[in-house]
Amino acid sequence: MSKKVIITAIPLRQRLCRITAVKEDGIVTQIQLAGRERENLLGNIYIGKVEKIQENIRAAFVRIAPGLTCYYPMPEHPGNGVLNRRCDGRLLPGDEIMVQVEKEALKEKLPGVTTNLSFTGKYLVLTSGRKDLGLSGKLDNESKRVLRMWIEPLMEEDFGAIVRTNAKFAGKQELLEEFDYLKQRLRRVMETGRSRTCYSLLERTPEDYIQLLRDTAGEELTEIVTDDEEVYQTAASYLEQFQPGDRQKLTFYEDALLPLVKLHSLERALSEALREKVWLKSGGFLVIQQTEAFVVIDVNSGKYTGKKKAQETYRRINLEAAAEIARQMLLRQLSGIILIDFINMQSEDHKQELLHVLQKYCRKDPVKTVVVDMTALNIVEVTRQKVKKSLAEQAAELDWKGETGWKNSGDGN
């Protein structure tokens, strides 16, 4: 599988919106939108102040900047981030606390923060709260054995580590160097945090496209292209320092007659990713609707009207739909509870096959996705970790109006 990353911009109301897209074998599988002047909070580390404690739900409200309050679900034992710890371990209003934003503000919910600070690299994550060594469940047993043998001797008492799936592509020296770099980052933040004033930003998260480059397996990443000079310089600097083997994959696009966004039909891809209906090659289609409580996906037989071998036809449509649903969840950045109404099948074997195939595709998702079960009403329940706003929410914030163009953008191109 080859992945091509495209980073470009479109004007919107006299400002620029950045679009980062991933193409796998010519098909757009991921899209990220960001207003260039909007600060991305996710991953940032702050000195916050506790405003209010809600004991009945074991949560606190923490202000990380003037006018910006976050939700903090309190663990039984607060982590190292509590700066004025009491002997009884209690957290009280007015306390200063080191927190990291782990969830964006979703719909009416506040951003979520944690005191378990994470320092993420391409192959490893070091954590201040969790103190053990964990390994990605996507690693095979032999890779886990070797990686554990390399990393375990480096562990210390004041932090934990998680070995990421990408680590199977790394050599021992690369892992050791990244471990040392992440340890220095963690120690620097923990030390400076004890002497900084309230609301200080201790560490800023990298740009979204840098995170995407970091999280993409090296052997899958084949090309990175941008027509934005600032993005090119930032990406080049990052690659030279952290991923030198990928530096030659970065190119600067300069054809003014055919903008990059048009060359790769990104406006059309975005417009299609925001439509409710998704057609399947078989003639069936999906209807994807986001509600306040969950996401509903309905699988329809579409153009199929015959009765001959209907069950086999439904089986094939459902299996095709499973692959497309996994792609759409990643593309649209759907999260939370996802309910899928597949076409009813009579055979128990066909139902189990469908669950197995859906699980296979969901395991490829970089965001934790779990196929829970099929209910008595043949509704398949899926959960996908909530981290970022959905693509629809990102587009709504930026006034995206579909393939006809950007609202108030002049000529509509």
Residue-wise pLDDT tens digits, 297-332: 999 988 665 555 888 888 999 999 999 999 999 999
User: Domain of 137: which CATH number?
Assistant: 3.30.230
CB distance 135 to 148 below 8 Å = yes
Query: Structural domain tally of the chain?
Result: 4
Rounded to 5 degrees, φ, ψ at 126 are: -105, 140
CB distance 282 to 316 below 8 Å = yes
Q: Per-residue b/e over 16-37, b at no fewer than 16 CB within 10 Å?
A: ebbbbbbbeeeebbbbbbbbee
Where residue 129 falls (left for φ over 0; alpha for ψ -120 to 50; beta otherwise) is alpha
pLDDT (tens digit per residue) in 349-384: 999 999 999 999 999 898 999 999 999 888 999 999
Please tell me the pTM assigned to this model.
0.83
Final residue before a domain boundary, out of 173, 203, 233: 203
Mean pLDDT of 149-155: 94
> Is 410 contained in some domain?
no
Confidence check: pLDDT of 410 > 50: no
> Is 409 contained in some domain?
no
**pLDDT category of residue 12 using cuts at 50, 70 and 90:** low
4-8, 90-94, 176-180, 286-290: which range is least confident on average?
A: 90-94
Between 56 and 38, the more confident residue is 56
> Is 104 contained in some domain?
yes
Final residue before a domain boundary, out of 114, 131, 146: 114
User: Domain of 94: which CATH number?
Assistant: 2.40.50.140
> Is 402 contained in some domain?
no
Residue 155 shares a structural domain with residue 236: no
Residue 126 shares a structural domain with residue 199: yes
103-107, 119-123, 330-334: which range is least confident on average?
A: 103-107
Kindly give the residue spans of alpha helices, DSSP state H, lying in 6-154.
141-151
Residue 11 lies in domain: 3-38+207-268
Neighbouring residues of 305: CB distance < 8 A, sequence distance ≥ 6: none
> Is 320 contained in some domain?
yes
Residue 168 shares a structural domain with residue 141: yes
User: Domain of 21: which CATH number?
Assistant: 3.30.420.10
Amino acid at 392: A
Q: DSSP assignment, residue 400?
A: B
Final residue before a domain boundary, out of 217, 252, 268: 268
| CA separation for the pair 255, 259 (Å, rounded) | 7
Closest CA to 177 of 133, 248, 243: 243
Residue 281 shares a structural domain with residue 357: yes
pLDDT (tens digit per residue) in 192-207: 998 899 999 999 999 9
| CA separation for the pair 335, 350 (Å, rounded) | 27
> Is 294 contained in some domain?
yes
Alpha-carbon distances, residue 286 vs 222, 280, 316, 317, 380 (angstroms): 31, 8, 14, 10, 14
Q: Where are the strands (E) in 42-147, listed by range?
A: 45-54, 59-65, 68-73, 96-103, 112-114, 118-120, 124-127, 133-135
